[in-house]
Amino acid sequence: MEAVPLEEVQNCVVKLRSNPQRRKNQVYVGCGAGFGGDRPMAALKLLERVEELNYIVLECLAERTLADRYQVMLSGGKGFDPRVKEWLSMLLPLALDREVCIITNMGAIDPPGAQKEILDLASSLGLEITVAVAYESSISGPENSVLWNESMGVAEGRSTYLGAAPIVHCLENYKPHVVITSRVADAALFLAPMVYELGWNWNDFEKLAQGTLASHLLECGCQLTGGYFMHPGDAYRDFSFEQLRDLSLPYAEVSYKGEVCVGKAKGSGGLLSYSTCAEQLLYEVGDPANYITPDLVVDFSDVQFHQISQDKVHCKGAKPSDLRRPEKLLQLFPTPNGWKGWGEISYGGQECLRRAQAAEYLVSS
CB neighbour list of residue 33: distance below 8 Å, 6 or more residues apart = 39, 40, 43, 57, 58, 59, 60, 87, 104, 221
Helix (H, G, I), strand (E, B) or coil at 33: strand
The pLDDT assigned to 318 comes to 98
Q: For residue 364, is pLDDT > 60? A: no
The pLDDT assigned to 360 comes to 66
Helix (H, G, I), strand (E, B) or coil at 260: strand
> What is the domain partition of the chain in residue ranges?
26-138+152-338+347-364
Helix (H, G, I), strand (E, B) or coil at 301: coil
Residues 3-13: pLDDT tens digits? Answer: 655 556 566 67
Q: Of the spans 160-164, 237-241, 254-258, 355-359, which averages the highest pLDDT?
A: 254-258
Instruction: Please give the single-letter amino acid code of residue 75.
Output: S
Tell me the mean pLDDT in the region 317-329. 90
What average pLDDT does the structure give for the chain? 86
Q: For residue 152, is pLDDT > 50? A: no
Strands 304-309 and 312-316: antiparallel
Q: For residue 186, is pLDDT > 50? A: yes
Residues 111-146: pLDDT tens digits? Answer: 999 999 999 999 999 999 999 999 876 544 444 433
Q: For residue 148, is pLDDT > 60? A: no
Tell me the mean pLDDT in the region 184-203. 97
Q: How many CB atoms lie within 10 A of CB 213?
A: 28
CB neighbour list of residue 360: distance below 8 Å, 6 or more residues apart = none
Strands 331-332 and 319-320: unpaired
